[in-house]
Structure 1
Amino acid sequence: MKFKDSFHPYAGITIIFWSLAFVLTRLLLQYFSAFPLGFLRYVVASIALMVIALTAKIAPPNKVDLKWFLLSGFFGFFLYMITFNKGIASVTAATSSVIIATAPVITALLAGLFYKEKLSAIQWTATAVEFSGVVLLSLMNSIFSLNSGLLWLLLAALSLGIYNLLQRKLTKTYSGLQTATYSIFAGTLMLAIFLPAAVSEVRAVPPVQLLYIATLGIFSSAIAYVTWAQALKKAERTSSVSNYMFITPFLTTLLGFVLTNEKPDGSTIAGSAVILLGVLIFNFGDRLAGKVFGRKNAV
């Protein structure tokens, strides 16, 4: 596969910006309540994407596909933002990233059910390795918290899995920019019910918090979801892209250290190494096994 045709760079960019979102959301929730924050994040994203859409002169969606964009907006932004922000308000950033890391498994199961996509035995093994690394990273740090926030985050993970499938469907017809833009527009319109509360809260926050919201909206939303949609468009299987989400706990911990001075320790290194090993096995394990099997046959 040529680099320009690869989904890996697009998925990698998304995961970096989504990992940043965990840290920034925790910081912002000191000043905002969960629902207005979700609305403000996607207002910024919608404005950024509107500028890009007008500049690029992208075509509007077909009427027959409007329902799919509405569903994508509902699951990917309205329901996900509400459940994610509600969950992360009562658990640590690392714990929330562990729960959201179940989304690739949910996505793989849903893709197998609806799209008949199958993972090989090696890829299922790699998925188990990755998730064990996520759990190792959190449990060894004694930062895994059990409360009602977990239920909100599990619902968020399910919502994200459904969103991934809807994006997969839409990118068969539309570009990544079109798919993400119209989905975010739909989700933002739904989140507009929190406009009055958002206006009230935004008046009382320090200026730096507005900068965090702008970062969330432009980088962790507008850019991240466009590159995610483009990755899904280029990949042969939905799960190949969603598997990248296992890297978020490692990057979240790393960014937490950089931005909030939360120092990583031995368990972070151990858990991260296991996660990265799993990612390598998932993406290259079948290819390596095929070469080894071929050589054995040759002998």
Structure 2
Amino acid sequence: MYIVLLSLNIKYGIFSGLFIRTEFNRPIMVKNQRHALFFGLAAVLLWSTVATAFKLALEQLTSLQLLFFSSLISWLFLAGSLAYTKDFSNVVPCFKAHPWRYLKLGSINPFLYYLILFKAYELLPAQQAQALNYTWAISLSLLAVPLLGQKLRKADLISLGLAYFGVLIISTKGQITELNFESPLGVGLALLSTLLWSLYWIFNTKNTDKPVISLFICFSIALPLIALVMTWQGAWLIPSIKASLAAIYVGLFEMGITFVLWLFAMKKAENTSKISNLIFISPFISLVFIYTLLGEEIHPTTPIGLGFIIAGLFIQKFGSKKAPQ
């Protein structure tokens, strides 16, 4: 879950410790804007399928089961990445240096964040859940004020108003004055997930460990917690082939391989701004997948509300020459 339009270097930078190696064990840093565009478009296309994948997976598994099996796949992928980069020996020392920090981070992501996000997808149409998830960058700006001592710019206030007005349009299907929410709990959970994701990155600001190592530790902490809840809820099962494929897809393309594609795009880009702006087309491509693959009728107010959200994020990113620290 899942795409950050504003803070790409935060959310999509978690794989900055992963790179292609030459036979001399040196990272390849050759700049090629055409290759960067290819990798960037591939990442955006895959991320655009995630909302649809969530809904299809949740037809086979509960939100808790999907969380466990997809997290397991992601954990295996991260383990393979660390084995490739020969960083496994650094995992235990990194955890021992900051055990309480990692316990806090792992409890938030992937445990609480994805559990709540998947539950929101259970309760809401995919078009609503994915649109609400895009507002996490706004939540990050708000939480950075009390937690990091940052100040809101005028651009932040304008973007906040536009984005949450878009949320109101989508959540009420345009019936703003009546405040008639299709699923108040689903909307609340979707917005809560944005707060949790923002908290995860705020708590992660002082973390200087390699990103892949950090994420592997977080998943290693979360998996036992998820397993305990699975046992408590009696949710264990042997997934069907269809359910397994769904979990594998979510585990790889929400939390794994797509991040590597985006990393390659950033590393090869001669102009990273042009590549990062590709992410603004993702929510609209996502609506196409939701309509064609899920058969979910796109409500006329959804693109309108999504337009307000994207406009808010765009203003927050480009609305001031002085960017926040």
**TM-score normalised by L of structure 1:** 0.72
Q: Secondary structure at the match of 1:183?
A: helix
Task: State the AA in 1 paired with 2:202.
Answer: L
**CA 1:228 to 1:117, structure 2 compared with 1: closer, same or farther past 3 Å?**
farther
Task: State the AA in 1 paired with 2:63.
Answer: A
Per the alignment, residue 217 of structure 2 pairs with 182
2:125 to 68, 86, 92: 92
Q: For structure 2, which runs of at least 5 residues remain unmatched after alignment?
A: 1-7, 14-39, 265-277
The answer to whether the aligner puts 1:112 opposite 2:145 as a matched pair is yes
User: Does the 8 A contact of 2:47 with 2:254 survive in 1?
Assistant: yes
Q: Secondary structure at the match of 1:200?
A: coil
The answer to whether the aligner puts 1:192 opposite 2:227 as a matched pair is yes
Deviation per CA, 1:56-81, whole angstroms, max 9, x where unpaired?
A: 12222151312211111101111223
Deviation per CA, 1:155-192, whole angstroms, max 9, x where unpaired?
A: 4333222212123232xx12322222222222123212
Per the alignment, residue 44 of structure 1 pairs with 73
Q: CA deviation at 1:54?
A: 1.0
Using the alignment, how far apart are the partners of 2:218 and 2:108 within structure 1? 10
The answer to whether the aligner puts 1:255 opposite 2:289 as a matched pair is yes
User: Does the 8 A contact of 1:41 with 1:213 survive in 2?
Assistant: yes
Deviation per CA, 1:213-268, whole angstroms, max 9, x where unpaired?
A: 111101101346789999xxxxxxxxxxxxx9998754542331243243546534
The answer to whether the aligner puts 1:157 opposite 2:186 as a matched pair is no
Task: State the AA in 2 paired with 1:10.
Answer: Y
Task: State the AA in 2 paired with 1:165.
Answer: I
User: Does the 8 A contact of 1:38 with 1:82 survive in 2?
Assistant: yes
Deviation per CA, 1:70-101, whole angstroms, max 9, x where unpaired?
A: 11110111122322223322222233335444
Using the alignment, how far apart are the partners of 1:120 and 1:185 within structure 2? 38
Identity level (%): 21
Matches within 5 A, 1:16-31: 20-31=49-60
Matches within 5 A, 1:199-214: 199-202=236-239, 205=240, 207-214=241-248
Task: State the AA in 2 paired with 1:145.
Answer: E
User: Does the 8 A contact of 1:39 with 1:194 survive in 2?
Assistant: no
User: Does the 8 A contact of 1:176 with 1:228 survive in 2?
Assistant: no
Per the alignment, residue 165 of structure 2 pairs with 132
Per the alignment, residue 271 of structure 1 pairs with 305
Q: CA deviation at 1:280?
A: 2.5
Q: CA deviation at 1:112?
A: 1.6
Per the alignment, residue 4 of structure 2 pairs with none
Per the alignment, residue 204 of structure 2 pairs with 167
Count of residue pairs the alignment pairs up: 265
Task: State the AA in 1 paired with 2:219.
Answer: I
127-136 or 177-186, larger mean C-alpha shift: 127-136
26-35 or 136-145, larger mean C-alpha shift: 136-145
Using the alignment, how far apart are the partners of 2:283 and 2:168 within structure 1? 9
**CA 1:50 to 1:248, structure 2 compared with 1: closer, same or farther past 3 Å?**
same
User: Does the 8 A contact of 1:167 with 1:229 survive in 2?
Assistant: no
RMSD: 3.7
Using the alignment, how far apart are the partners of 1:208 and 1:33 within structure 2? 14
Task: State the AA in 2 paired with 1:177.
Answer: V
Q: For structure 1, which runs of at least 5 residues remain unmatched after alignment?
A: 1-5, 231-243, 289-299
Deviation per CA, 1:1-42, whole angstroms, max 9, x where unpaired?
A: xxxxx8399378888666543322222222212212110010
